[in-house]
Every structure is written in structure tokens, then in C-alpha cells.
Structure 1
């Protein structure tokens, strides 16, 4: 099968990580896979090397620091639409609302029935306020020929808000990579992080409202009273949106609390596993998530996770993480984790991560694509992924 996957950035965000890992796993199954993306700020390649079995097409996109977010999104859609080549694909699969809307524009010129079906993975629902962005977000859910979600919780939100029933295919995770970082092979790299940072609580994904970063800061202030040796470390943070007001509020509150977080920003891909494995705990207190890839990677490394109590985290992680609903509970759960008294079974967490393989996710996507191509879409209903030919799946 000839498959095009599209994403909006070359830089490390959950949807981009998902796109590359899925593309490679599909290529390993013998499919012809092309990944299309926008190269922002001069980027000519993704944040990590991509298996040469996957063709990568990076569309140049000039960055404008003073450009409003809405204008930047509109220009992103136009730029990718103008560059995308629809010919030669059996299915095209968008991982975000920007690339989905770009596909609508690019394929609209091919005529009815001449274009391949468009699939969209809805990782989570966003809360836009401007009318054009609300429309863009809605179109990217309603207009595709078929929809996927990485968790049943998000699929239920799509059903509630749009009357559609996406098919659920959970995320994969490169569990072995994070397990190696936690083992003997990763000892030197973990030691380097600890020499630089001391003992630390880690959060990944940047300083932004959806990640609940201010709540984590407040909880860390409570935690630090009994653990003055701990530091708060924040990694990642590449985003299309302007979270400067939230970051300014975070910085003001940190100064008031007398805390100086270590903000690492975007990290080299090969640094992430050892950074995670060296942490005393991972704070995963997002107010909204689609799956929780960073938390699953931490479990693979044997690191205790404190998660906000959300339907999606309950669904994905079960009893493998500690849950909290507010700042005092986050602080108490982190205190137990850094003291080695976490009530969760870390071995069970590692086993859970190992079960979420990209090979399994790719096999499910393959079945989904076949059904969608046969039917021309999903009809707004969940697609049955029961394999009629298990022997040929490998």
C-alpha cells in the first residue's frame, strides 16, 4: 500500500513522534510510506534520523516571529496544500488539524472519486476561541473520510461533540530504548545528568496551560520543603502556539516561591531516554491528553509517574501510575515517589509499556487503511479491526 502521512512540524512533539514511529513501522511491514511536513525556520529534516525506507518530504516554511497564531496556521495550511502531491497514494493520513486542512485543499482539485481517502488521527480536542480556528479544528474532524483516536476517552469526546465514532488504535512506544537507558548501558549517561542536575523531578512538554505546568510548580514548592535537594526540570516545549503570557505568569510565580526551575527547552533526541531514566519521578499533570506518550516512556524506564486523574490517564495507565486531582495531592504523590515509597508496581509499568509496540500499532493501522480504502471511508462509525487474514500479517 502507498501511504502518505502528514504532520505540521519537524520538531519533537507527541504527534510528530507518533508520525515518524508509525511511518517506520508501516515501512517495515512492506508499505511504501512518505512523510510530509513543514520545515519551520529553515529546518530541512526531522529532529531525528528517519529510517531510509521512509521517504521524507520537507516543505520550506519561513518563520515570522511577529505573526499572529491564526495567520501562521492559515499560512501553514496554504503552504503545505500548494506543495503536496496527491498522486500515487492509496491513502493519506493527517496527524493534526493543519495538515488535515492542507490535504482538503490539495485534494479538492483532483475531482470527486479521484483522490485517495483522507484519514485523520485526533490526538486530543483543542479549545480554540477565534471563529476561524474553531472552524479549522472542526473541519479537521468532520471532513476526513475516516477518523482514528489513540484512546477511547478522546474518541468518546469526539462522539459527544461531533456525533462521530472514531476507531481507537493506541499509541506505540519504543520501550526498549528507554529500558536500555535505565540499565547498565545507560549508567554513564544517567550519571552525567545527575552530576549536572542533582536529584530532580522531571516534566516534559514545555511550559503551557495544557501541561498544567503552574500546578506542578506549586506542588514542587510544597515538596521542596521536605526535600530541599530536589530540583524541578522541564524539558521540551516546541509548539506552534504563543504561550508567552502563561510562561510569564509561571516565571513570576517561580520567583515568588523562590524556585529556579531548570528549563532545558528542546532536547536532542538521543538525550531524552537518559534524562527520563535519571529522574526521581515524572510529573505528568496535564489537564488534557490524548494518550500520554511521555508517561509511558517513563514507565518503560522504571521511573514512577504522578498523573492528573483524567479519564484518558485512567484508561491508558490503570494502576501503573499515582493519580492526583489538585496541587496538594500532586505534592504528596511526588513526595512518595522520590522517597521510593510509590504505591505502584514499577515492574508492571514496564510490562505495560512493552505491550504498546509500534509493530502492533502499525498492523492495526494497516487493517484500518484496508477497510477504509474498500469502503471509501468509515461512514462516521467505528471500523471493525478483526483480522480476517491473520496468517499474512506476520
Structure 2
């Protein structure tokens, strides 16, 4: 099959990571895969090296400092739409797979993966979000919980194909071969709790700051480290609130920004714990990668995370319980690492690609969406 995977950014966000890993796995299965993306801020390539078997099309997207979030979303859709429509005339695809609402609104008839659902107030975002659920030919979700939310909100029944995980890469970072890289992080940061995804409302960053302030009273040697954080949205007010609270509490968290992809596994493997206290998630890829590295995870007690992680992580519901779970994780009294490693290893990208391949074929053969979903489930969608 000739497959177009479409994503909105070159940066390491969850849907982008998913698009690249899935594309590489599909290429290993013999498919002709092209990944389309917007090159924001002059980007001409993705945040990591991509297998040469996968073609890359980066559509230039210039930065405009005076642009509102809504206008930026609309311009993103229009820019990708124009470039993709021109190319599609010359390069017809058997499957077009959009990984986010911008892509789904830009490319026309497509398969859409709904990674998670958000609640927006910006009119352009509300419309983008809704139409990207309703309009696709067929829908996928990476967890049953998100699929249930789609069904409750739109009366549509997505097929569930969970994420894959590059577990071997993170497991290697925690072994003897990764010792020197871990030691470099320890030399720079000491003992630390890690949070990935930057500082934003959905990541529960303010709750984590409050929990860390409590933890630090008894463990002043432990640092709080934030990694990642590129986003289209404007979280300046939230970031200002977090910064103000950090100053009030006399804290000094480490803000790494976007971490080089080659350095990420060792950063994760060197952490004393991963704080994964998001208020909304679709799967929890960063937490699964931490489990692959043998790092204890403290997660927000959400139905989706209970579904994905079961008993392999510690759950918390509020600031006191986040602190308590982090203390237990740092003391080594959380869930055993072996069960988490085994769970991460069970999510293989080649298996995920096989399930997508069958789903694509079912959608193409049947045309009728409901029938395509049933066929995909019978072919082994988990």
C-alpha cells in the first residue's frame, strides 16, 4: 500500500512519536510510506532520525508572533491542505492517516487516530476538534477509555489499537551499556523526579510543583526536572501561575526544554521516579517508556491509565497522594520493576503495524465505516 501519515509538527509530541514509529514499522512490512508534517519555525526535519525507508515531506510554515492561537490553527490547516492537495494529484495514496485534528481537517477523506480528547474555548479549535472526529472515513483510538468517550460524545465507535513502545531502547539505557550516560545526568542533576511534556494544564504541572514542595521538606537533595514542552497552544497564563507559585515556595526546578532524542532514554533511566500526573491522557507513552527503563511511575488515577497500566504504576488523586506516591517510588517501595518492564515489552510496534495494515485493508474493502470497524476487530485489534 501507498500510505500517507500526516502530523502537525516535527517536535516530540505523542502523536508525532506515534506517526514516526508506526510509519517505520509499516515500511518494514513492505509498504510505501510518506510522513507529511508542517515545518514550524524553519524546521526541515523531525526531532529524530527517521528510517530511510520512510519518505518525509515537510511543508514550510513560517512563524508569526502577532498571531492568535485560533488564527494559527486555521493557517496550519490551510497550509497543509494546499500542499497536500497539490501532491495528492500526482501521488495518489491508498491510505491517508491523520494523527491530529489539524491534519484531519487538512487532508480530506482519511483514517484518523484520536489520541485523546480535549476541551477548548477558542472557536477555531472547537470546530477543528469536532470536525476531526466526525468527518474521517474511519477512526482509531489508542485506548478503550478514549474510544468510549468518542462513542459517548459523538455516537461513533472507533477501533482500539494501543500504542507501541520502543522498549528495547529504554531498557538498554538502564543497563550496563547506559551507565556512563546515566552518570552524566546524575552529575548534572543529582537525584531527581522527572516530568515530561513541559509545563501545561493537561500535564498537571501545578499539582506536581505543590507535591514536590511537600516532598522536598524531607528530601532536600531531590530535584524536580521538567523536559519537553513544544506546543501550538498558548499556556502563558498557566506558566506564569506555575512560575509565581515556584517563587512563593522557594523552589528551583530544572527546565530542560526539548531534550535531544539520543539523550532521552538515559535521562529517563537515570530518574528516581517519573511523575505522570496528567489530567487527560490517551495512552501514556512516556510512562510506558519509563517502565521499560525500570523507573517507577506515579500516575494520576484516571480510567485510561488504569486500563493501560494496571498494577504496574502507583496512582494518586491529589497533591498529598502525589507526594506520598513519589516518596514511596524514591524509596523503592512501589510496584516491582519487572512487571512494568514486561508490560512495556508487550507493546511492539511491529504488532501495532500489522493491526493497522489489516484495519486499512478493511476500511478500503468495505467502504461502510461500521462494517470496517467490525472487520478490524475480528482481525485481532486489542
Equivalent position SS for 2:369: coil
Preserved CA contact (<8 Å) 1:212 1:285:
yes
Give how far 1:272 is off: 0.5
Preserved CA contact (<8 Å) 2:112 2:136:
yes
Is 1:89 the counterpart of 2:80 in the alignment? no
Match of 1:108 in 2: none
Equivalent position SS for 1:193: helix
Give how far 1:132 is off: 2.9
Is 1:306 the counterpart of 2:310 in the alignment? no
Match of 2:197 in 1: 205
Match of 2:369 in 1: 378
1:297-376 correspondence to structure 2 within 5 Å: 297-342=289-334, 344-376=335-367
Match of 1:73 in 2: 73
Match of 1:144 in 2: 136
d(CA) in 2 for partners of 1:33, 1:329? 45
Q: How many residues align?
A: 376
Preserved CA contact (<8 Å) 2:115 2:282:
yes
Equivalent position SS for 1:19: helix
- Post-superposition Cα deviations, 1:335-362, rounded to whole Å, max 9, x if no partner, equal 01111121x1210000000000101100
1:41-52 correspondence to structure 2 within 5 Å: 41-52=41-52
Equivalent position SS for 2:370: coil
Is 1:253 the counterpart of 2:257 in the alignment? no
Preserved CA contact (<8 Å) 1:146 1:380:
no
d(CA) in 2 for partners of 1:223, 1:382? 47
d(CA) in 1 for partners of 2:130, 2:262? 36
Give how far 1:290 is off: 0.4
Change (3 A) 1:195 1:202: same
Provide the aligned C-alpha RMSD in A: 1.3
1:38-187 correspondence to structure 2 within 5 Å: 38-84=38-84, 85-86=87-88, 87-104=91-108, 117-187=109-179
- Post-superposition Cα deviations, 1:318-376, rounded to whole Å, max 9, x if no partner, equal 0000000000000000001111121x121000000000010110000000000000012
Structure 2: 5+ residue runs without aligned partners? Answer: none
- Post-superposition Cα deviations, 1:140-173, rounded to whole Å, max 9, x if no partner, equal 0000000000000000000000000000000000
Preserved CA contact (<8 Å) 1:92 1:118:
yes
d(CA) in 1 for partners of 2:302, 2:231? 23
d(CA) in 2 for partners of 1:380, 1:59? 35
Structure 1: 5+ residue runs without aligned partners? Answer: 105-116
d(CA) in 2 for partners of 1:100, 1:216? 33
